[in-house]
């Protein structure tokens, strides 16, 4: 039954329009001369200029970038080890526990995660004397924790699909298990690691709620700054920022999609 | 002929002084309650191509994995060239395996795949390069050295997998359904090539397969397995012509089984009274049995003759009606219904070209076989 | 042969440690998650039994060492407070209602889209999926912000409708429950589509063809064959939308009105505005209890769909 009903197709198109219209409007109105964001007043790039002259936004962007880079990397490391352990190791005592912990952050409301982590940091402060002051470090820890959960989903599914016999082949040819991991397993799951990294990176850059809870003075992330701005209403320099982020994200996606189709060719399944 | 082939040709398993290269002693493997390999013992000699033949689930793959070190033994011993393999992990065993799925490293070129095992041995780069090049020539993949596995066809991948396993010159090469993924034509060509390669290198092969034709073509000896046990070991000819039990008789090729009881038990012959054949079947060898004992006589379809004419002085003669004919081109298969209702299968080569067959549905025919064409099986 | 490569050295070292090597590897993610995920929840639970105070941190200690004895102050007041004050009950119910309705809408929109993509030719599928997922990779905050521009009094939609003449006065869309529904459906749609797609793409066409061959109309086939077989995908998608939506903060904060009361906002306000950490904690704990059943449903759906692939 390959014939698709007309109405289904129309519905699909409408669905995609629904998904993309707001994004496109953000980009379009970032070039709007008028401050009234939704009334077109002519083409202008002045808001981009304003954006780059705003120290608050630039500082916050720098903070967010550093946090995202660090937490994405940490997320992939934790996520990879967790995935490997859950998929490859047969049975161990804390397997169910680890499995639940690595998937729970995916569905937990952010306010709960944020609150819990903040209270934890405060408790650790009073008991261990660390962390001293909340800031970039605590945000990185928080982001790495839920980032690892997302990365683990991607990496686990790749590990499960992977043809185990190539690991056995490497063992058979004389490679020690640790060597097998670095020579064979890691290169083969590399695309999944990359996807996981990108996902964790995006989530970190985008996070408002958790960062608000665990941050400290002097460490405002970009979403925090944007949020305080837009609470008061629309703001065209935010549109400009949005356009830039959308542009960068789109380029990233396309690169990633090309990578995925290349790796699909390589895997022998 | 290489020395290896000469050794195999001399049938070392018949030489009481020969020391087996691979000894499998009372090996058992249990997965929980399920016994996959049940007290198997085998002796395999250097330079053999030994096939473990059996249907799916018979335990042959598990046995192979125990040889390579990927499964532990529940009990028993595996001794390769005098060395007990207990506790030795796969990466330290003198065996190499050719995987059913080939398991080529997708991110490495053909060359790097083949070189991988040599690098693990820590050989100097120059030597690795030479050996890889030589091996590529041997499997005729020289032109593909820089390609990646996903750029190769199934047959090409198989050669690379073989090359990768052989380049380390293992004492034992283990092959898991090596022809499984190839189509029929390619399979036949590859089988002969495999034999040639084995002869030139002298490596001992243990092959796991469910394909009888493959086992018959490749092997110096076959071990027939079912339900975790070895039911017969022998050369292809021995297995086919002298099956020791019903299972082997039925598993290899097709066979007609006549049930009956021993009527006469002489020094060099037996007569089996067979009601369903309506005949006392004459078999020219003696067996250790008692008069009246229930036995069966196995006769291969191609050993039978059918004709509308009298079959002269063939020792065992019957008559029946042709029920089914299958024309296969090079041969024809006839299903004959005997007077007792039993159906017998007869294969005949089509020696002559003709537009029509002389034998048709419903024809009454004589069928028979020479005295020594049948063999008695007791179990 | 004397200088072993690094991998083998690590391997040899771990090998000598034997079992311990395995434990070390298992420990890395387990300890991290214990410290930074599981134990924090216990801390929240503990503080929910405390009382707000002008102190750093702003709550009374539960366990005190007085005169050589431990004194445990378990304060259930916070929970009683939640039960008594109608605001909280309304917020919990409101959250569940809004999240529920939004989930349903997302299902109605997402299912056809997932179906469409699953039934497309394989090379088109990846492109379509990429298109579905791409918005998700741009900022969540900014996409919600975009809807402010759309739904405002003088926003895009109102301007469009007025210029075409469909309406005379701008519709009030922003700062309403309606806006929150739109916001939730919009941002969580990929979460609905992806598990549905994963399920539908594995659906063997042969089932549908068999049903049709046996005389069923397309609608009947859909209801009696497709839907039941995609049930685990439906539940997974719904739970992946419902559970985080219940605790949403940003969407009601930016798009909702003064009457829109979601529990995520309540928690935020308790914490940041009222500085009442214990009450915020108890709000969080109760929220977790509310979500237990949906979370269990999700786990069931995920293991069911895993079972289907084997």
DSSP 8-state secondary structure symbol assigned to residue A43: B
Question: Please, which chains are in contact with A (at least 3 CB pairs closer than 8 A)?
Answer: B, C
Q: For the purposes of burial, counting CB atoms within 10 Å of the CB of C121, is it exposed (0-12), middle (13-18) or buried (19 or more)? A: exposed
What pLDDT shows up at residue B269? 84
In DSSP terms, B333 is beta-bridged to B326, B347
Identify the weakest region by mean pLDDT among A38-52, C21-35, C86-100, C173-187.
A38-52
DSSP per-residue letters across B51-74: EEE--TTSSHHHHHHHHHTSS--S
Tokens found for residue C297: 């449903």
Q: Do C8 and A179 touch (CB under 8 A)?
A: yes
Query: pLDDT-derived band of residue C57, with 50, 70 and 90 as boundaries?
Result: low
Q: Do A166 and B148 touch (CB under 8 A)?
A: no
Model confidence at C274: pLDDT above 60: yes
* Mean pLDDT, residues B262-284: 85
Q: Which residue of A19, A107, A234 is in closest CB contact with C148?
A: A234
Model confidence at A3: pLDDT above 70: no
* A-C Cβ pairs (cutoff 8 Å, strict): 247
CA R_g for chain C: 26
Q: Does A268 touch chain C (CB under 8 A)?
A: no
Model confidence at C143: pLDDT above 70: yes
Q: Do C277 and A119 touch (CB under 8 A)?
A: yes
* Mean pLDDT, residues B88-104: 93
Model confidence at B307: pLDDT above 90: no
CB B344 within 8 A of CB B320: yes
Q: To which H or E segment does residue A164 belong?
A: none
Query: Rounded to whole angstroms, how far apart are CA atoms A186 and A179?
Result: 10
Model confidence at C72: pLDDT above 70: no
pLDDT in tens, A184-224: 999 999 988 988 998 899 899 889 999 999 998 888 999 99
Model confidence at C1: pLDDT above 50: no
Q: Do A249 and C39 touch (CB under 8 A)?
A: no
* Mean pLDDT, residues A175-182: 90
Query: Rounded to whole angstroms, how far apart are CA atoms B233 and B231?
Result: 7
Q: Do B150 and A172 touch (CB under 8 A)?
A: no
* Mean pLDDT, residues B328-349: 90
Query: pLDDT-derived band of residue C7, with 50, 70 and 90 as boundaries?
Result: very low
Task: Give the closest-approach CA distance of B111 to chain A in angstroms.
Answer: 15
Q: To which H or E segment does residue B267 belong?
A: none
* Mean pLDDT, residues C150-171: 80
Q: Does A43 touch chain C (CB under 8 A)?
A: no
User: In terms of C-beta distances under 8 Å and separation of at least 24 residues, what long-range contacts does B245-251 make, across chains too?
Assistant: B245/B377, B245/B378, B245/B379, B246/B296, B246/B298, B246/B377, B246/B379, B248/B224, B249/B298, B249/B375, B249/B377, B251/B53, B251/B55, B251/B212, B251/B224, B251/B226
* Mean pLDDT, residues C43-62: 74
* Mean pLDDT, residues C228-248: 89
- CB neighbour list of residue C225: distance below 8 Å, 6 or more residues apart: C207, C208, C211, C216
Task: Identify the CA nearest to B129 among candidates B80, B91, B182, B167.
Answer: B167
Q: Does C10 touch chain A (CB under 8 A)?
A: yes
Collapsing DSSP to helix, strand or coil, A163 comes out as coil
Minimal Cα distance from A180: which residue of B?
B91
* Mean pLDDT, residues C17-25: 71
CB A132 within 8 A of CB C269: no
- Kindly report the CA angle at C270 between C268 and C273, in degrees rounded to 5? 85
What are the two backbone dihedrals, phi and then psi, of residue C160, each rounded to the nearest 5 degrees? Answer: -65, -50
User: In terms of C-beta distances under 8 Å and separation of at least 24 residues, what long-range contacts does B283-288 make, across chains too?
Assistant: B283/B371, B283/B372, B283/B374, B283/B375, B283/B376, B284/B371, B284/B372, B285/B372, B285/B375, B285/B376, B287/B262, B287/B376, B287/B378
What pLDDT shows up at residue A38? 62
Collapsing DSSP to helix, strand or coil, B265 comes out as strand
Query: Rounded to whole angstroms, how far apart are CA atoms C304 and C308?
Result: 6
Model confidence at B110: pLDDT above 50: yes
Collapsing DSSP to helix, strand or coil, B350 comes out as coil
Q: Which residue of A173, A177, A265 is in closest CB contact with B120?
A: A173
What pLDDT shows up at residue C3? 43
Q: Does C212 touch chain A (CB under 8 A)?
A: yes
* Mean pLDDT, residues C285-297: 86
Q: Which residue of A82, A116, A238 is in closest CB contact with C40?
A: A116
Model confidence at C271: pLDDT above 60: yes
pTM, full prediction: 0.79
What pLDDT shows up at residue B125? 93
Identify the weakest region by mean pLDDT among A28-37, A230-239, B231-240, C122-131.
A28-37
CB A40 within 8 A of CB A31: no
What pLDDT shows up at residue A1? 39
DSSP per-residue letters across chain C: --S--HHHHHHHHHHHHTHHHHHHHHHHHHHHHIIIIIHHHHHHHHHHTS-B-SSSSSB--SEEEETTEEEE----HHHHHHHH-HHHHHHHHHHHHHHHHHHHHHHHHHHHHHHHHHTS-HHHHHHHHHHHHHHHHS-HHHHHHHHHHHHSTTSHHHHHHHHHTS-SS----TTSHHHHHHHHHHHHHHHHHHHHHHHHHTS-HHHHHHHHHTT--HHHHIIIIIHHHTHHHHHHHHHHHHHHHHT--HHHHHH--TT---HHHHHHIIIIIS--HHHHHHHHHHHHHHHHHHHHHHHHHHHHHHHHH-
Minimal Cα distance from C21: which residue of A?
A178
Q: Do A109 and C7 touch (CB under 8 A)?
A: no
Q: What is chain C's mean pLDDT, rounded?
A: 82
* Mean pLDDT, residues C21-42: 88
Percent of chain B with pLDDT over 90: 55
Minimal Cα distance from C129: which residue of A?
A257
DSSP per-residue letters across B123-192: --HHHHHHHHHHHHHHTT-GGGTT--GGGS-HHHHHHHHHHHHHTT--SEEEEESTTTTS-HHHHHHHHH
- Per the document, the length of chain A is 269
Is the interface score ipTM higher than 0.90?
no
Model confidence at C208: pLDDT above 50: yes
In DSSP terms, B264 is beta-bridged to B271
Strand order through the sheet with B95-98? B95-98, B172-176, B204-209, B49-53, B221-226, B229-234
Tokens found for residue C122: 């394989």
What pLDDT shows up at residue B229? 94
Chain A residues with CB-CB distance to C247 below 8 A: 108-112
Question: Please, which chains are in contact with B (at least 3 CB pairs closer than 8 A)?
Answer: A
Question: Is B177 or A89 the better-scoring residue by pLDDT?
Answer: B177
Tokens found for residue B103: 């398991």
Q: Do C7 and A176 touch (CB under 8 A)?
A: yes
Q: Which residue of C28, C41, C143 is in closest CB contact with A22?
A: C143
Q: To which H or E segment does residue B103 belong?
A: none
Chain A residues with CB-CB distance to C154 below 8 A: 36, 38-39
Tokens found for residue B358: 């002389």
Task: Identify the CA nearest to C57 among candidates A134, B126, B14.
Answer: A134
Query: Rounded to whole angstroms, how far apart are CA atoms B304 and B283?
Result: 14
Instruction: Please give the C-alpha separations between residue C307 and each of B160, C187, C199, C302, C304, in angstroms, as whole numbers.
Output: 35, 29, 12, 9, 5
pLDDT in tens, A83-94: 988 988 877 778
Percent of chain B with pLDDT over 70: 97
Q: Which residue matches tokens 């329009």?
A: A17
Query: Rounded to whole angstroms, how far apart are CA atoms B219 and B100?
Result: 18
Q: Which residue of A174, A190, A266 is in closest CB contact with B148?
A: A266
Q: Which residue matches tokens 């237990």?
A: C292
Q: Do A171 and B150 touch (CB under 8 A)?
A: no
- Helix, strand, coil abundance in chain B, percent, nearest 5: 30, 35, 35
Q: Do A116 and C143 touch (CB under 8 A)?
A: no
Q: Do B120 and A187 touch (CB under 8 A)?
A: no
* Mean pLDDT, residues B238-260: 90
Task: Identify the CA nearest to B159 among candidates B141, B174, B172, B146.
Answer: B141
* A-B Cβ pairs (cutoff 8 Å, strict): 77
What pLDDT shows up at residue B86? 92
Query: Rounded to whole angstroms, how far apart are CA atoms B273 and B260?
Result: 5
Minimal Cα distance from C247: which residue of A?
A109
Which of B90, B99, B100, B119 best tests the A interface by mutation, with the highest count of A CBs <10 A?
A: B90
Query: pLDDT-derived band of residue A164, with 50, 70 and 90 as boundaries?
Result: confident
Chain A residues with CB-CB distance to C291 below 8 A: 107, 109
Instruction: Please give the C-alpha separations between residue B331 and each of B187, B341, B348, B349, C164, in angstroms, as whole numbers.
Output: 22, 25, 5, 4, 83
* Mean pLDDT, residues B43-55: 93
What are the two backbone dihedrals, phi and then psi, of residue A244, each rounded to the nearest 5 degrees? Answer: -65, -50
Dihedral sign (CA B282, B288, B289, B294): negative
Give the number of other Cβ atoms within 10 Å of residue B157's Cβ.
23
What pLDDT shows up at residue C71? 64
Question: Is B11 or A137 the better-scoring residue by pLDDT?
Answer: A137
| Surface of B (111-130) touching A: CB under 8 A | 116-117, 120-121
Q: What is the dihedral of CA A259, A262, A266, A269, to 10 degrees?
A: 90
């Amino acid at each position: 039954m390959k014939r698709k009903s007309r109405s289904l197709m129309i519905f699909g198109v409408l669905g995609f329009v629904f998904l993309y219209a707001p994004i496109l409007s953000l980009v379009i109105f970032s070039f709007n001369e008028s401050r009234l964001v939704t009334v077109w007043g002519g083409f202008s790039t002045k808001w981009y200029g304003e954006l780059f002259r705003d120290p608050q936004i630039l500082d916050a962007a720098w903070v967010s970038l550093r946090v995202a880079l660090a937490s994405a990397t940490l997320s992939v490391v934790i996520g990879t080890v967790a995935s490997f352990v859950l998929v490859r190791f047969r049975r161990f005592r804390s397997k169910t526990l680890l499995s639940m912990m690595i998937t729970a952050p995916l569905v937990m409301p952010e306010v709960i995660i944020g609150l819990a982590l903040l209270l934890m940091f405060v408790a650790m402060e009073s008991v261990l004397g660390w962390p001293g002051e909340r800031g970039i470090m605590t945000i990185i820890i928080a982001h790495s924790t839920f980032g690892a959960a997302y990365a683990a989903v991607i990496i686990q599914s790749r590990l499960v699909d992977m043809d185990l016999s190539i690991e056995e082949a490497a063992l058979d040819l004389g490679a020690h298990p640790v060597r097998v991991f670095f020579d064979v397993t890691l290169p083969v799951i590399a695309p999944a690691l990359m996807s996981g990294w990108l996902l964790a990176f995006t989530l970190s850059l985008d996070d408002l709620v958790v960062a608000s809870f665990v941050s400290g003075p002097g460490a405002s992330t970009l979403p925090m700054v944007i949020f305080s701005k837009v609470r008061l209403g629309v703001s065209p320099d935010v549109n400009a920022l949005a356009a830039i982020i959308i542009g960068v994200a789109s380029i990233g996606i396309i690169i990633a999609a090309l990578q995925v189709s290349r790796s699909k060719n390589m895997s022998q399944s | 002929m290489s020395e290896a082939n000469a050794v195999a040709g001399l049938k070392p398993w018949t030489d009481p002084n020969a020391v087996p290269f691979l000894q499998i002693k009372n090996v058992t493997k249990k997965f929980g309650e399920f016994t996959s390999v049940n007290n198997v013992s085998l002796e395999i000699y250097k330079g053999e191509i030994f096939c473990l033949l059996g249907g799916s689930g018979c335990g042959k793959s598990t046995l192979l994995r125990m040889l390579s070190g990927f499964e532990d033994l529940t009990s028993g011993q595996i001794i390769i060239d005098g060395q007990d393999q207990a506790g030795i992990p796969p990466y330290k065993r003198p065996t190499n395996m050719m995987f059913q799925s080939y398991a080529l490293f997708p991110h490495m070129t053909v060359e790097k795949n083949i070189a991988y095992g040599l690098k693990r041995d820590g050989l100097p780069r120059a030597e690795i390069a030479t050996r890889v090049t030589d091996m590529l020539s041997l499997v005729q993949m020289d032109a593909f050295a820089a390609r990646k596995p996903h750029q190769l066809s199934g047959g090409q991948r198989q050669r690379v997998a073989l090359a990768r396993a052989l380049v380390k010159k293992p004492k034992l090469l283990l092959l898991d359904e090596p022809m499984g993924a190839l189509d029929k034509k390619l399979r036949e060509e590859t089988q002969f090539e495999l034999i040639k390669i084995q002869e030139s290198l002298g490596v001992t092969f243990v092959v796991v397969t469910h394909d009888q034709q493959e086992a018959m073509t490749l092997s110096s000896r076959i071990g027939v397995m079912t339900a975790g046990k070895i039911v017969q070991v022998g050369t292809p000819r021995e297995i086919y012509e002298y099956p020791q039990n019903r299972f082997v008789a039925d598993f290899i090729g097709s066979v007609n089984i006549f049930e009956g009881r021993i009527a006469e038990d002489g020094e060099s012959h037996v007569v089996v009274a067979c009601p369903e054949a309506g005949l006392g079947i004459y078999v020219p060898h003696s067996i250790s049995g008692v008069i009246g004992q229930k036995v069966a006589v196995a006769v291969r379809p191609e050993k039978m003759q059918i004709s509308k004419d009298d079959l002269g002085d063939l020792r065992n003669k019957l008559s029946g009606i042709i029920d089914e004919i299958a024309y296969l081109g090079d041969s024809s298969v006839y299903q004959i219904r005997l007077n007792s209702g039993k159906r017998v299968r007869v294969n005949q080569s089509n020696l002559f070209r003709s537009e029509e067959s002389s034998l048709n549905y419903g024809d009454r025919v004589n069928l028979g076989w020479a005295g020594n064409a049948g063999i008695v099986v007791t179990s | 042969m004397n200088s072993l490569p690094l991998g083998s050295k690590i391997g040899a070292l771990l090998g000598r440690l034997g079992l311990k090597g395995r434990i070390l590897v298992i420990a890395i993610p387990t300890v991290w998650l214990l410290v930074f995920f599981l134990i924090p929840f216990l801390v929240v639970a503990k503080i929910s039994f405390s009382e707000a105070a002008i102190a750093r941190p702003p709550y009374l200690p539960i366990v005190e060492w007085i005169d050589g004895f431990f004194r445990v102050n378990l304060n259930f007041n916070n929970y009683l407070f939640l039960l008594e004050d109608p605001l909280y009950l309304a917020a919990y119910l409101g959250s569940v209602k809004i999240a529920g309705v939004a989930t349903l809408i997302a299902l109605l929109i997402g299912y056809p889209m997932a179906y469409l993509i699953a039934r497309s030719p394989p090379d088109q599928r990846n492109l379509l999926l990429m298109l579905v997922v791409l918005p998700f990779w741009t900022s969540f905050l900014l996409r919600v912000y975009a809807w402010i521009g759309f739904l405002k009094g003088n926003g895009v939609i109102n301007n469009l409708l007025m210029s075409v003449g469909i309406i005379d006065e701008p519709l009030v869309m922003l700062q309403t429950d309606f806006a929150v529904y739109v916001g939730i459906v919009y941002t969580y749609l990929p979460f609905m589509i992806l598990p549905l797609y994963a399920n539908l793409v594995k659906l063997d066409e042969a089932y549908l063809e068999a049903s049709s061959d046996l005389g069923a109309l397309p609608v009947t086939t859909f209801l009696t064959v497709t839907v039941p077989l995609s049930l685990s995908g439906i539940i997974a998608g719904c739970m992946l939308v419902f559970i985080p939506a219940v605790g949403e903060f940003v969407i009601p904060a930016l798009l909702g009105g003064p009457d829109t009361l979601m529990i995520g906002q309540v928690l935020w306000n308790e914490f940041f505005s009222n500085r009442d950490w214990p009450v915020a904690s108890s709000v969080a704990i109760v929220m977790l209890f509310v979500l237990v059943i949906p979370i269990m449903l999700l786990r069931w759906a995920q293991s069911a769909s895993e079972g289907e692939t084997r």
